[in-house]
Amino acid sequence: MECTINWMPATGMGMVAETGSGHVLLMDGAPDGGGRNLAPRPMETVLAGTGGCTAYDVVLILKRGRHEVTGCQVKLQAERAPADPKVFTKIHLHFTVSGTGLPAQAVERAIQMSHDKYCSATIMLAEMAEITTSFELVEA
């Protein structure tokens, strides 16, 4: 896996990330740090990637279990250390999973499997941050 980050001086602190898979992601800083608030902060993209990683796992695990999953939303709330380096210290992931006849036990198991075995992002961040989860089911 690879990624190239290019700072765009004309934007203040804007950056463009070119991923190894050929996609582009824009990032920017807060105005008090020289940015113009034109894109997500780099640490917001870490949080978003973490949510995407675990949502992908949960959906895939449920589908492989032949469950009728029709939606998966993950809302993340994170706290960071007050001083540099401002690492994440707590991350809570709340899953809203929708489908037809989804057993709560299957959803709980999929979330646990993601966090114990498959989601490299949450497993890596758990080395520094306390990670908690919750979920709710919505009948589709």
Interatomic CA distance for residues 69 and 35, integer angstroms: 40
pLDDT tens track for 18-71? 999 999 999 999 999 999 999 999 999 999 999 999 999 999 999 999 999 999
Supply φ then ψ for residue 10, to 5 degrees.
-65, -15
The pLDDT, as a whole number, for residue 89 is 98
Interatomic CA distance for residues 40 and 43, integer angstroms: 8
Domains and CATH numbers, the chain: 3-33 (no CATH), 42-139 (3.30.300.20)
CA distances from 41 to 37, 52, 122, 124 (A): 8, 16, 19, 20
Q: Would residue 121 be called left, alpha or beta, if left means φ above 0 and alpha means ψ between -120 and 50 degrees?
A: alpha
Cα of first residue to Cα of last residue in the chain, in angstroms, is 37
pLDDT tens track for 86-107? 999 999 999 999 999 999 999 9
Cis-peptide, bond into residue 42, ω within 30° of zero: no
Q: Report the predicted TM-score, pTM, of the whole model to 2 decimal places.
A: 0.93
Interatomic CA distance for residues 71 and 131, integer angstroms: 23
